[in-house]
Copies of this chain bind each other. A is one copy, B any other.
Amino acid sequence: MSNEVRSLNEECGVFGIWGHPDASRVTYFGLHSLQHRGQEGAGIVSNDSGKLNGTRGLGLLSEVFKDERHLNQLTGHAAIGHVRYATAGTGSVDNIQPFLFKFYDGDFALAHNGNLTNAKSLRKTLEQNGAIFHSNSDTEILMHLIRRSQKETLCERMKEALNTVKGGFAYLMMTKDSMVAALDPNGFRPLSIGQMVNGAYVVASETCALEVVGATFIQDVNPGEIITINDEGLTVEQFTKDTQHAICSMEYIYFARPDSNIAGVNVHSARKNMGRILAQEAEIDADMVVGVPNSSLSAASGYAEESGIPYEMGLVKNQYVARTFIQPTQELREQGVRMKLSAVRGVVAGKRVIMVDDSIVRGTTSRRIVNLLKEAGAKEVHVRIASPPLRYPCFYGIDIQTRKELIAANHSVEEIREVIGADSLSFLSEDGLIHAIGLNFDAPYSGLCMAYFNGDYPTPLYDYEEHYQATLKEKMSFL
């Protein structure tokens, strides 16, 4: 999927380090490798002998931390950071994490990746009991639960709070004397731990961040785990035993960086496998295989290798796309003015093209790319999607919460083919996807969350239950 019309959005990435003299700077580099998980805001909080200092702002990491001075203020041997994706319109700095709290009994910072399914009701109950929220982010809820817990120790309070929130969450917290990571009981979001040569512990949403800072992978944070890191070392505990793997399959398909491993599986290799199995499932004779840059290149090369059809660069993406780019007017667009993605006439003209993409959300992007290829002279365009049709919303951290937007929720494959103008269209099967990724947890779908494809949500939906029923009704109205 090109991001010409980006429709699936990850909510965040987190990075933390304990035990390094240049902790905030290492965090900066770690976050930089997670920038693909959120481009709307970024922040870092450092811990200098128990005193926490933070900086956060709207925009890319390099816009928030413009020069050395921004990092030099964040002194200390530990730090946590966050990159955030925010839905349009709510772009207030108040929502940018990590949140930093200054209590009379010590500072506390909090960063979060995921989405809670009982946030709305928890928030209302808390407000009715005098709680004051300063953002419209779910993340503050955990802080209130911790502060209101009657348990003796901070760790006990955290565990109680973690058992109260529901849904998908990966939390990274900084107290005055420790860094704490916790993952929801299904492990929807990836979270891994590594160690640098100097002994510093590192926590990150993806293993690519471990590589980038030169850290060695130690372990994934497992579902239901709370891991405390401090000057004594690393302690792993379970805040709940009631766990079952349901790793977000979209991480493998689209979100994660190809150089990351999730649950031990390399993302690029998984994608290449998706392409290979797709080639087996949906063979067709053609002159070339073309991947939609950048996220579909692995799948496309897998398809090409398996099919023996040459892989060609039939689409080129402009690498200088800025977020503030001026858009073509409708008139210019009709005259053929393009911006971000170009079809390569010299390559595709007169040829039968297999166009491999990772997913179809609304169908508008696919239609545009098929059209680009045809305008550049492609004789045939056969679209091959390296994942099953997206038919159900996600409530665990991906920004699609209504079925109205999902073309496959309301249309058959043949209808979609017609909408996007392709000569043929095939999706990877659910089994093909599961097989391509190749997890083998003792859980449904070998440990993957397949809810977007089949509506089989691994948890109750709480506050979204009603919403979900409504979206089902929406669907009815379409049929």
Q: A residues engaging B (CB < 8 A)?
A: 22, 25-26, 28-29, 32-33, 35-36, 39, 60-63, 65-68, 71, 93, 101-105, 123-124, 127-134, 136, 140, 143-144, 147-148, 196-198, 208, 211-215, 257-259, 261, 266-269, 272, 294, 297-298, 301, 305, 310-313, 316, 318-320, 322, 324-326, 328-329, 331-332, 335-339, 342-347, 376
Contacts and interface: CB of A to CB of B under 8 A. Distances in A.
Nearest to A108: B132
Given A25-B332, A196-B336, A268-B313, 15 more contacts: A29-B332, A29-B338, A67-B324, A101-B134, A129-B130, A130-B144, A132-B147, A212-B339, A213-B335, A261-B346, A268-B312, A269-B347, A305-B310, A305-B311, A319-B319
B342 A33 contact: yes
Contacts of A33: 318, 342
Contact of A258 (B212, B316, B336): B316
A136 B336 CA distance: 38
Given A25-B328, A148-B130, A212 B322 contact: no
Contacts of A129: 130
Which of A266, A269, A344 has the most chain B CB atoms inside 10 A of its CB? A344
Nearest to A125: B104
B102 A136 contact: yes
A258 B329 contact: no
Nearest to A123: B104
9 contacts: A29-B338, A68-B326, A105-B127, A131-B132, A131-B147, A212-B337, A214-B337, A301-B301, A301-B311
Given A136-B102, A211-B338, A347 B266 contact: yes
Given A212-B338, A320-B62, A101 B132 contact: yes
A265 to B, nearest CB: 8
A130 B347 CA distance: 50
B342 A196 contact: no
Contacts of A62: 320, 322, 324-326
A173 B438 CA distance: 59
Contact of A326 (B65, B134, B329, B337): B65
A339 B60 CA distance: 15
Contact of A342 (B134, B208, B301, B343): B208
Contacts of A326: 25, 28, 62, 65, 67-68, 71
B131 A268 contact: no
Contact of A339 (B32, B128, B331, B344): B32
A255 to B, nearest CB: 14
A39 B32 CA distance: 22
Contacts of A71: 326
B32 A335 contact: no
A266 B67 contact: no
Nearest to A338: B212
Given A62-B324, A311-B311, A337 B102 contact: no
A318 B258 contact: no
A257 B344 CA distance: 10
A342 B207 CA distance: 12
Given A26-B332, A312-B268, A318-B33, A130 B127 contact: no
A209 to B, nearest CB: 10
A148 B347 CA distance: 47
A450 to B, nearest CB: 23
A380 to B, nearest CB: 20
Contacts of A29: 328, 332, 337-339
Given A26-B332, A338-B212, A268 B344 contact: yes
Nearest to A150: B130
A123 B105 CA distance: 11
A152 to B, nearest CB: 15
A308 to B, nearest CB: 10
A29 B326 CA distance: 9
B311 A26 contact: no
Given A324-B67, A339-B32, A25 B329 contact: yes
Given A36-B319, A127-B103, A266-B347, A313 B298 contact: yes
A344 B130 contact: no
Contacts of A148: 130
Contacts of A316: 208, 257-259
Given A319-B294, A324-B62, A345-B211, A329 B268 contact: no
Contacts of A28: 326
